[in-house]
């Protein structure tokens, strides 16, 4: 029971962090079809900006300023770069963002150095909130949950209650039609790209001091975010939300379930010995492959339901 | 249009189905020239004082050869069939592992196979896994296909680290190419002999891939890329087309992997990792995915950047990123695309008139590049590269990055060169448009 | 169109650079090729090593170098890929460099050992010695040993023995967590062997392998560890896998001590932070507080000078031992001839700069030297990476206690 509850909490926190990152990417991918390899780089920039700002001003201003900076950079990238590349096709856009990711990583290395920077949890939030069966639950994790929930609420309200939100929703499903109706679609694109990048930056501000802030963090976080976005389905923010939580919980629970395929076979009366072919594969316990399960799920869902969990548009 | 011109390839070269041996000789000579040039190239780096080939040059050239096969096989999916794959390296690497295990088996006496045919084993391994993975991946197309290949790539790469039996874990599978089994009695202990083998296999593989583009499968792959809906009406099952193309590209990737096993005598998990797949993508795109030989050119550029420039500078990744961005924005057709754009002007016989305009852009361009490289190297040196302990050097001159002078020089070169370039570019553009209009008027556009 | 010009210009510039940088620069230096990742995700490792090695070499050169010549370090970025390391090897042998040095990545080391062996047997006129400064898989001086390979860092089995010896008497339950590849599996296996041999009273309550570099959230593992009742966590994790693991553990507030192999390298102190006071231990070849602890003024001055220059610890000061060995062996051989140097190097005894006895064993070319177990705590003379906490030596295991049998059967070259 203890393990279940603690794992549930941990899985939720991790899933919400993934959602913060993935929501921006879903918006960008759904609207513009751009596989944004630089999204995780925005996450990294958010963390580094927050580190520098919190050194001079403080954490709370950084919480607001860093995402704004990331958003501004995103807008600039979209206006001066992506827009020009758009006519050359999706692969060109993808490579553009890929080149961008390389450049950003190098610039970060040159500016802040190669070793991790001491971006710490602010003293005001560094205390255990409550204790679950003897394990402390840090207040900062509750803060993360709070921010991500607020974010989800804000996005949902913004998309469904404001005019620009409705236009964005429409463009999510039928971009050409929205343009034909007279809306300034390029401006909408820029707004969405900037907003998505700002969201990634916010995720970086929150996640950077929870994890370690170093130049490789974009490279390590990148693939899982793509998995979440595609699994959740294009055009659906709710799908993204569910997918993030699902991935977070799966990865967390996989760690505590010490079973392997061989154990399953034992249930059916078949024993696996070292002479059995593929015995190495059959005896692998779940925790060892826990981090790979998202990719397995990705392949499975794409084969059987290519639109993803709740996707409304074809990829 | 001349009577015997059947098709025109995108490069502007005529695929003339001329009858008889005269046509065959005419088509074969570029290939022969290329092979001879490839064999002569290492002699440029021959060290006459010690009478030794440069091992470094031979290895780099062998790397270019086998990576070119890899990039061309990748382009069978991307350029020919419109299938963007993020996990192509798994076919390359798995072919390599098969070849390595085969060579170990030969060495142990468990089987007999001449070393020259080991890449074929790699190819068959790649084909097998191409069939296996292709069955899953080609159920979808476009972005879904790309994501499936990404997932498969991550899975295989992680397995390569975990399972010792086939993959040898972190240490990989090491092997020895000096097995004593050879069709020509060659030992392959020297890099020069290995290089000759690589050249031979590269020629064979490239030729076969080239011929494949002209088979019905190759043509249908192009059709499904260009207009998917319409292609379905032709009658071939597009899923089968994708699947066969994927499997065949796996065969050639596996040949590349087999050659890798022979050249380096060790196959490790990085041969199936995402970084390797990215290399193929970059090579294919930089060279130009539209033309057949584009990936070959691209491979040369990428290998030189990766293994050559990285020896000179810490910031080589930055240059790669900037190169991409510039190419993607201004030259999406890749190097081949750039060359192809000149073809009509060449046909109109007025290529010479571009020399002066080119020089006029070359100069400011060189300044900008110099300024940019200087600034990047200075910045990289002050934060990272000071490790060398040596002073920052441009050729024989030592420069102190702590003073303002080099920074100002770099900035001036970059900005000044950039502004001058913009000025000249306008004149160049005007000249170019005039020449194109002339070519159009003469009717040699296509 | 401008692009084509730029591309051409860049190409010309590149060729010019290559031509200028081309053949061997200064005559009369003994070149050491050094290959490690200097770009990409693991760049911090190679870069930190490079800075430390250059500092040490400057010192060695100031003491005369070897045979009247100075040593020169030539870095090659291998981007964590064996093929690039092999290309670096080719470049090094083309220029007749006598040494190639590599510290990071047992997969690269395995590739290098084989490649050096094959090259030396096929090309006796351009032989090269492989100096291993940090690739610690036990196999490299056992089943995979080679005459041309010299390892200057204790291998996994030796480090596992140090850990088992340093485990306090009151600890009875330990949990093992390692990365799922050759090195991590090696740690897992060897720690269990030595615990069974030296501390049969200790119970291994949990044994875990995690995929390399993939886990972002270690909280579930901490839950499992707590549920098992372990008092000590033994791990060979390095890089983000180590930083995130310890961070998760400290954040959750559970009463656990961490015994690691790599908490002391660049970035570790920052990641652990003040919350780790007294909780983390690491097996290390050196830390900056050893010199003041044993009262060695000269060594302390020397390490302090490095510290004033760079923001990270001088954890690789032990590399000085490597270069002193190379210096002594080259002088003994009388010529920059790899075969002579190798023969001089094996079996060589040397007192390192801290004053301890070390030996380069002839049977397997493994350096046997002293090792320390350090605790990360407040109140030390030299703190790490400006965190206010530093490594204090808790235990010192001497070389003579660390000798382990070897299964190496190396073939010696005929003259």
Q: What is the pLDDT of residues C160-203, one digit of tens each?
A: 888 888 888 888 999 999 988 778 888 999 999 999 999 999 99
Give yes or no for a contact between C330 and C65, defined as CB atoms under 8 angstroms apart: no
The verdict on residue A278 lying in a domain is no
C361-390 pLDDT tens trace = 998 899 998 888 999 988 888 888 778 888
Beta bridge partners of C132: C102, C151
Q: At residue B3, does pLDDT exceed 50?
A: no
Average per-residue pLDDT for chain C: 84
d(CA A305, CA A301): 5
The verdict on residue A298 lying in a domain is no
Closest CA–CA distance from residue B268 to any residue of chain C (Å): 7
More confidently predicted of B271 and B11: B271
Give yes or no for a contact between B316 and A106, defined as CB atoms under 8 angstroms apart: no
**B174 phi, psi to nearest 5 deg:** -100, 155
Closest CA–CA distance from residue C171 to any residue of chain B (Å): 31
Q: Report the residue from A135, A219, A251 with minimal CB separation from C41.
A: A219
Beta-sheet strands, E only, within C252-384: 257-260, 280-284, 349-351, 357-360, 367-368, 371-378
The domain limits of chain C are: 28-154+298-368, 157-284+371-401
Residues 45-64 of C with CB under 8 A from A: 47-48
Residue C79: list chain B partners with CB under 8 A. Answer: 306, 310
The per-residue pLDDT for B94 is 96
B350-396 pLDDT tens trace = 888 888 888 888 888 888 888 888 888 887 777 665 544 445 666 55
d(CA B193, CA B180): 14
The per-residue pLDDT for C116 is 93
Nearest-5° angle of CA B282, CA B283, CA B286? 80
Give yes or no for a contact between A233 and A300, defined as CB atoms under 8 angstroms apart: no
Q: What is the ipTM of this complex?
A: 0.84
Closest CA–CA distance from residue A143 to any residue of chain C (Å): 14
Torsion of CA B111, B115, B116, B118, to 10 degrees: 60
More confidently predicted of C313 and B413: B413
Averaged pLDDT, B224-232:
86
The per-residue pLDDT for B399 is 66
The domain limits of chain B are: 36-317, 348-442
Averaged pLDDT, C34-45:
78
Q: Report the residue from C224, C244, C270 with minimal CB separation from A255.
A: C224
A80-125 pLDDT tens trace = 888 888 887 777 888 888 889 988 988 898 888 777 787 878 877 7
d(CA B105, CA B98): 11
Q: At residue B245, does pLDDT exceed 80?
A: yes
Average per-residue pLDDT for chain B: 84
- Interface probe for A, chosen from B144, B274, B313, B315 (most Cβ of A below 10 Å), is B144
A6-63 pLDDT tens trace = 888 888 888 988 898 898 898 888 777 788 889 999 999 999 999 999 888 888 888 9
Q: Does C336 touch chain A (CB under 8 A)?
A: no
Number of domain units in chain A: 1
Q: Report the residue from B315, B321, B379 with minimal CB separation from A100.
A: B321
Please determine, looking at this structure, whether the domain spanning C28-154+298-368 carries the CATH number 3.30.930.10: no
d(CA B344, CA C389): 70
Handedness of CA A235, A241, A244, A247 (dihedral sign): negative
3-state secondary structure of C353: coil
d(CA A43, CA A21): 7
Q: Percentage helix, strand, coil, to 5, in chain C?
A: 45, 20, 35
- Put simply, the answer to whether A211 touches C216 (Cβ < 8 Å) is yes
**A5 phi, psi to nearest 5 deg:** -65, -45
Q: Report the residue from B143, B155, B282 with minimal CB separation from A292.
A: B155
Q: Does C208 touch chain A (CB under 8 A)?
A: yes
Topology adopted by domain B36-317: ABC transporter involved in vitamin B12 uptake, BtuC (1.10.3470)
- Put simply, the answer to whether B304 touches C12 (Cβ < 8 Å) is no
d(CA B74, CA B55): 28
Taking CA–CA distances from B334, the nearest residue in chain A reads A92
B384-394 pLDDT tens trace = 655 444 456 66
More confidently predicted of C115 and B306: C115
Closest by CA to B295, choosing from B335, B332, B250, is B335
Q: At residue A303, does pLDDT exceed 80?
A: yes
Handedness of CA A311, A167, A16, C246 (dihedral sign): positive
DSSP assignment letter at C50: H
Sequence-distant (6+) residues with CB within 8 A of C45 are C36, C37, C103, C104, C265, C266
The per-residue pLDDT for B20 is 57
- Put simply, the answer to whether C216 touches A120 (Cβ < 8 Å) is no
Name the H helices within B265-394: 274-287, 294-303, 310-312, 316-330, 334-347, 355-383
> In chain C, what is the straight-line distance between the N-terminal and C-terminal CA atoms, in Å?
61
R_g of chain A computed on alpha carbons: 21
The per-residue pLDDT for C311 is 74
Q: Report the residue from A128, A253, A292 with minimal CB separation from C253.
A: A128
The per-residue pLDDT for B392 is 60
d(CA A298, CA B149): 10
The per-residue pLDDT for B206 is 94
The per-residue pLDDT for C14 is 42
3-state secondary structure of C306: helix
Averaged pLDDT, B429-441:
86
Taking CA–CA distances from A226, the nearest residue in chain B reads B147
Residue C394: CB atoms within 10 A of its CB come to: 14
Closest CA–CA distance from residue A287 to any residue of chain B (Å): 13
d(CA B247, CA B253): 10
Handedness of CA C177, C181, C184, C186 (dihedral sign): positive
Taking CA–CA distances from C121, the nearest residue in chain B reads B189
Q: DSSP assignment of C130-158, as one string? A: EEESS---GGGGTTT--TTEEE-S--HHH
Taking CA–CA distances from B282, the nearest residue in chain A reads A95
Residue C226: list chain A partners with CB under 8 A. Answer: 134-135
The per-residue pLDDT for B388 is 47
Taking CA–CA distances from B52, the nearest residue in chain C reads C94
Q: How many CA atoms lie within 13 A of B204 on its CB side?
A: 15
pTM of the predicted model, to two decimals? 0.84
The verdict on residue A250 lying in a domain is no
Residue C158: CB atoms within 10 A of its CB come to: 25
pLDDT cut 70: percent of chain C above it: 93
Averaged pLDDT, A53-79:
91
Q: How many CA atoms lie within 13 A of A238 on its CB side?
A: 8
Kindly list the partner chains of chain B, i.e. chains with 3 or more CB atom pairs below 8 Å.
A, C
Closest CA–CA distance from residue A138 to any residue of chain C (Å): 7
Closest by CA to A296, choosing from A235, A244, A227, is A227
d(CA C391, CA C269): 9
- Put simply, the answer to whether B387 touches C50 (Cβ < 8 Å) is yes
- Put simply, the answer to whether C223 touches A256 (Cβ < 8 Å) is yes
Taking CA–CA distances from A125, the nearest residue in chain C reads C251
More confidently predicted of B158 and C196: C196
Residue C210: list chain A partners with CB under 8 A. Answer: 287-288, 291
Label each residue of chain A as H, E or C. Answer: CHHHHHHHHHHHHHHHHHHHHHHHHHHHHHHHCCCCCCHHHHHHHHHHHHHHHHHHCCHHHHHHHHHHHHHHHHHHHHHHHHHHHHHHCHHHHHHHHHHHHHHHHHHHHHHHCCCCECCCCCHHHCCEEEEECCEEEEHHHHHHHHHHHHHHHHHHHHHHHCHHHHHHHHHHHCHHHHHHCCCCHHHHHHHHHHHHHHHHHHHHHHHHCCCCECCCHHHHHHHHHHHHHHHHCCCCHHHHHHHHHHHHHHHHHHHHCCCEHHHHHHHCCCCCCCCCCCHHHHCCEHHHHHHHHHHHHHHHHHHHCCCCCCCCCCC
Sequence-distant (6+) residues with CB within 8 A of A103 are B318, B321, B322, B325
Q: Report the residue from B56, B389, B428 with minimal CB separation from C58.
A: B389
Sequence-distant (6+) residues with CB within 8 A of B164 are A280, C182
Confidence of residue B22 (pLDDT cuts 50, 70, 90): low
DSSP assignment letter at B1: -
Q: At residue C2, does pLDDT exceed 50?
A: no
The per-residue pLDDT for B426 is 87
pLDDT cut 90: percent of chain A above it: 15
Residues 143-202 of C with CB under 8 A from A: 180
Residue B347: CB atoms within 10 A of its CB come to: 16
Q: Report the residue from C43, C55, C211 with minimal CB separation from B158.
A: C211
Taking CA–CA distances from C111, the nearest residue in chain B reads B266
Structure tokens at A63: 């919480």
- Put simply, the answer to whether C271 touches A116 (Cβ < 8 Å) is yes
- As to burial, measured by CB atoms within 10 angstroms (0-12 exposed, 13-18 middle, 19+ buried), residue B407 is middle
Confidence of residue B398 (pLDDT cuts 50, 70, 90): low
Taking CA–CA distances from A113, the nearest residue in chain B reads B383
Nearest-5° angle of CA A219, CA A225, CA A227? 115
Closest by CA to B19, choosing from B31, B34, B3, B30, is B3
The per-residue pLDDT for B401 is 65
Taking CA–CA distances from A114, the nearest residue in chain B reads B384
Helix (H) or strand (E) holding C401: none
Average per-residue pLDDT for chain A: 83
- Put simply, the answer to whether C94 touches B55 (Cβ < 8 Å) is yes
C99-150 pLDDT tens trace = 999 998 877 888 899 899 989 988 888 899 999 998 888 888 888 889 999 9
d(CA B117, CA B181): 10
- Interface probe for B, chosen from A306, A308, A313 (most Cβ of B below 10 Å), is A306
Structure tokens at A23: 């929501």
Taking CA–CA distances from C8, the nearest residue in chain B reads B362
C157-284+371-401 CATH pick, 3.40.50.2300, 3.30.365.10, 3.30.450.20, 2.40.50.100: 3.40.50.2300
Residues A44-53, buried b or exposed e (16+ Cβ, 10 A)?
Answer: bbbbbbbbeb
Structure tokens at B254: 């596996």
Name the H helices within B109-171: 118-137, 142-162, 164-167
pLDDT cut 90: percent of chain C above it: 23
The verdict on residue A41 lying in a domain is yes
Nearest-5° angle of CA B234, CA B237, CA B241? 100
Closest CA–CA distance from residue C165 to any residue of chain A (Å): 29
Residue C187: list chain B partners with CB under 8 A. Answer: none
Kindly give the pairing relationship between strand C99-102 and strand C29-36. parallel
B20-40 helix and B191-212 helix, angle to the nearest 10 degrees: 150
* Residues of B contacting chain A (CB within 8 angstroms): 78, 84, 136, 139-140, 142-144, 146-148, 150-152, 154-155, 158, 162-165, 274, 278, 281-282, 285, 289, 315, 317-318, 320-325, 328-329, 332, 379-380, 383-384
3-state secondary structure of C261: coil
Q: At residue C15, does pLDDT exceed 90?
A: no
């Amino acid at each position: 029971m203890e393990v279940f509850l603690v794992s549930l909490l941990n899985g939720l926190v991790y899933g919400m962090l993934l959602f913060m990152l993935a929501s921006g990417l879903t918006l960008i991918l759904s609207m513009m079809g751009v596989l944004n390899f630089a999204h995780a780089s925005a996450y990294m920039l958010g963390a580094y900006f927050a580190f520098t700002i919190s050194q001079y001003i403080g954490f709370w201003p950084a919480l607001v300023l860093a995402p704004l900076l990331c958003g501004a950079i995103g807008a600039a990238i979209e206006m001066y770069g992506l827009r020009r590349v758009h006519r050359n096709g999706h692969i060109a856009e993808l490579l553009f963002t890929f080149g961008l990711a390389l450049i950003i990583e190098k610039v970060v290395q040159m500016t802040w150095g190669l070793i991790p920077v001491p971006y710490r949890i602010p003293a005001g939030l560094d205390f255990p909130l409550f204790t679950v069966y003897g394990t402390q639950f840090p207040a900062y994790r509750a803060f993360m949950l709070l921010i991500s929930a607020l974010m989800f609420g804000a996005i949902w309200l913004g998309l469904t209650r404001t005019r620009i939100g409705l236009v964005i929703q429409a463009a999510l499903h039928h971009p050409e039609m929205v343009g034909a109706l007279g809306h300034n679609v390029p401006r909408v694109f820029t707004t969405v790209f900037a907003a998505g990048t700002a969201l990634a930056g916010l995720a970086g501000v929150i996640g950077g001091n929870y994890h370690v802030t170093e130049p490789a963090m974009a490279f390590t976080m990148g693939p899982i975010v793509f998995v979440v976005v595609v699994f959740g389905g294009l055009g659906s923010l709710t799908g993204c939300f569910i997918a993030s939580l699902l991935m977070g919980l799966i990865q967390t629970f996989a760690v505590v379930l010490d079973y392997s395929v061989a154990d399953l076979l034992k249930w059916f009366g078949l024993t696996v010995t070292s002479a059995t072919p593929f015995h190495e594969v059959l005896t692998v316990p779940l925790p060892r492959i826990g981090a790979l399960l998202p990719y397995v799920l990705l392949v499975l869902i794409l084969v059987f339901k290519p639109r993803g969990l709740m996707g409304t548009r074809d990829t | 249009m001349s009577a015997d011109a059947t098709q025109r390839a995108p490069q502007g070269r005529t695929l003339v189905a001329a009858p008889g041996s005269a046509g065959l000789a005419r088509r074969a000579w570029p290939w022969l020239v290329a092979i001879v040039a490839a064999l002569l190239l290492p002699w440029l780096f021959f060290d006459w004082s010690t009478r030794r080939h440069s091992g470094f040059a031979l290895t780099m050239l062998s790397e270019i050869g086998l990576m070119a096969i890899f990039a061309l096989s990748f382009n069978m999916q991307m350029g020919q069939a419109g299938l963007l794959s993020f996990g192509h390296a798994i076919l390359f690497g798995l072919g390599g592992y098969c070849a390595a295990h085969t060579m170990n088996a030969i060495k142990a006496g468990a089987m007999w196979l001449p070393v020259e045919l080991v890449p074929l084993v790699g190819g068959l391994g790649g084909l097998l896994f191409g069939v296996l993975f292709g069955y899953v991946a080609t159920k979808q197309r476009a972005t879904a296909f790309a994501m499936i290949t990404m997932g498969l790539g991550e899975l295989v790469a992680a397995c390569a680290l975990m399972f010792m039996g086939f993959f040898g874990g972190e240490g990989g599978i090491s092997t020895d190419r000096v097995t004593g089994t050879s069709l020509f009695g060659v030992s392959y202990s020297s890099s020069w002999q290995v290089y000759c083998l690589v050249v031979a296999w590269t020629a064979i593989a490239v030729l076969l891939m080239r011929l494949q583009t002209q088979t019905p499968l190759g043509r249908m792959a192009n059709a499904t890329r260009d207009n998917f809906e319409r292609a379905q009406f032709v009658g071939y099952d597009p899923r089968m087309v994708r699947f066969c193309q994927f499997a065949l590209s796996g065969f050639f990737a596996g040949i590349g992997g087999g050659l890798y096993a022979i050249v380096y005598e060790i196959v490790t998990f990085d041969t199936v990792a995402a970084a390797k797949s990215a290399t193929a993508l970059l090579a294919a795109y930089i060279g130009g995915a539209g033309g057949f030989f584009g990936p070959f050119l691209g491979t040369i550029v990428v290998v030189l950047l990766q293994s050559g420039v990285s020896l000179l500078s810490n910031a080589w990744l930055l240059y790669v990123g900037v190169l991409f961005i510039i190419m993607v924005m201004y030259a999406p057709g890749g190097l081949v695309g750039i060359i192809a754009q000149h073809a009509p002007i060449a046909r109109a016989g007025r290529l010479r008139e571009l020399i002066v305009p080119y020089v006029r852009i070359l100069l400011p361009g060189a300044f900008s590049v110099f300024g940019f490289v200087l600034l990047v190297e200075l910045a990289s040196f002050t934060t990272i590269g000071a490790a060398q302990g040596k002073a920052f050097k441009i050729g024989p001159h030592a420069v102190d990055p702590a003073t303002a002078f080099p920074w100002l020089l770099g900035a001036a070169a970059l900005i000044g060169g950039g502004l001058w370039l913009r000025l000249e570019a306008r004149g160049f553009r005007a000249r170019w448009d005039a020449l194109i209009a002339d070519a159009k008027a003469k009717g040699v556009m296509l | 169109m401008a692009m084509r010009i730029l591309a051409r210009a860049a190409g010309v510039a590149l060729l010019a650079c290559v031509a200028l940088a081309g053949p061997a620069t200064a005559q009369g230096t003994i070149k050491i090729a050094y290959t490690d990742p200097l770009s990409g995700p693991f760049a911090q490792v190679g870069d930190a090593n490079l800075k430390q090695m250059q500092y040490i070499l400057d010192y060695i050169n100031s003491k005369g170098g070897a045979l009247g010549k100075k040593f020169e370090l030539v870095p090659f970025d291998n981007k964590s890929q064996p093929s690039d390391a092999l290309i670096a090897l080719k470049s090094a042998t083309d220029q007749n460099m006598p040494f190639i040095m590599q510290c990071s990545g047992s997969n690269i080391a395995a590739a290098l050992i084989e490649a050096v062996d094959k090259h030396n047997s096929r090309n006796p006129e351009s032989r090269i010695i492989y100096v291993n400064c940090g690739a610690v898989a036990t196999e490299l001086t056992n089943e995979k040993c080679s005459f041309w390979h010299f390892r200057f860092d204790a291998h996994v089995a030796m480090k596992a023995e140090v850990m088992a010896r340093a485990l306090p008497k009151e600890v009875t339950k330990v949990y093992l967590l390692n990365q799922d590849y050759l090195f991590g599996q090696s740690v897992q296996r060897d720690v269990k062997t030595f615990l069974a041999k030296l501390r049969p009273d200790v119970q291994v309550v949990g044994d875990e392998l995690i995929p390399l570099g993939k886990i972002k959230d270690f909280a579930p593992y901490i839950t499992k560890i707590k549920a098992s009742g372990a008092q000590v966590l033994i791990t060979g994790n390095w890089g983000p896998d180590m930083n995130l693991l310890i961070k998760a553990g400290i954040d959750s507030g559970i009463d656990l001590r961490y015994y690691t192999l790599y908490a002391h390298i660049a970035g570790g102190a920052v990641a652990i932070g003040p919350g780790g006071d007294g909780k983390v231990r690491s097996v290390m070849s050196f830390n900056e507080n050893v010199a003041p602890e044993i009262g060695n003024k000269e060594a302390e001055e020397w390490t302090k000078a490095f510290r004033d220059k760079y923001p990270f610890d001088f954890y690789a000061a032990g590399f000085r031992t490597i270069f002193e060995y190379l210096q002594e062996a080259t002088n003994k051989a009388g010529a920059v001839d790899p075969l002579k140097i190798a023969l001089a190097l094996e079996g060589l005894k040397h007192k390192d700069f801290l004053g301890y006895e070390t030996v380069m064993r002839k049977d397997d070319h493994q350096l046997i030297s002293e090792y320390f177990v350090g605790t990360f705590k407040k109140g030390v003379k030299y703190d790490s990476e400006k965190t206010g906490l530093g490594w204090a030596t808790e235990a010192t295991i001497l070389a003579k206690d660390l000798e382990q049998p070897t299964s190496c059967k190396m073939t010696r070259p005929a003259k």
